[in-house]
């Protein structure tokens, strides 16, 4: 069955959320005192350009790498994953944590 066409408003919202996630990740990286190249090395990436793409909102972190990123940034893995879920999958985040989840100290852009 073919996928339905993406709603332009939804696509724009997803783009904004990815950019917000990227800014949050960049802030966390800078707070950890790491360059993009140093972070890439710590999480096992061959090229730092992936870090750049994620920070600019062009990419997103695969779930299986989030623990390594959290460790490299000195963040608690559960909180790290929860924050990314809020940006990457806001409807799932809402279903799991409700609107009250936003008051748990999660990053807001």
Residue 42 lies in a domain: yes
Residue 2 lies in a domain: no
Q: Determine the structural domain holding residue 90 and report its residue range.
A: 8-102
- Identify the pLDDT of residue 101: 52
* Per-position b or e across 35-71, b if 16+ CB within 10 A of its CB: ebeebbeebebeeeebbbebbebebbbeeeebebbbe
State the CATH number of the domain containing residue 19.
1.10.260.40
Helix (H) or strand (E) holding 9: helix 8-31
Residue 3 lies in a domain: no
Residue 1 lies in a domain: no
Residue 109 lies in a domain: no
State the Cα–Cα distance between residues 99 and 67, nearest whole angstrom: 25
Which pTM was predicted?
0.83
Total domains in the fold of the chain: 1
What is the pLDDT tens value at each position of the chain, 109 positions in all? 677 767 899 999 999 999 999 999 999 999 999 999 999 999 999 999 999 999 999 999 999 999 999 999 999 999 999 999 999 999 999 999 997 555 444 444 4
pLDDT tens-digit readout, 66-79: 999 999 999 999 99
């Amino acid at each position: 069955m073919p996928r339905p066409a993406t709603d332009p408003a939804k696509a724009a919202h997803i783009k904004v959320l990815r950019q917000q996630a990227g800014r949050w990740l960049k802030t966390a990286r800078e707070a950890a005192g790491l360059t993009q190249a140093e972070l890439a090395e710590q999480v096992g990436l061959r090229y730092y350009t992936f870090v750049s793409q994620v920070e600019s909102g062009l990419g997103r972190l695969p779930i299986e790498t989030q623990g390594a990123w959290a460790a490299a940034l000195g963040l608690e893995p559960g909180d790290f994953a929860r924050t990314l879920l809020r940006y990457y999958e806001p409807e799932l985040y809402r279903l799991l944590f409700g609107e009250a989840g936003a008051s748990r100290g999660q990053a807001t852009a």
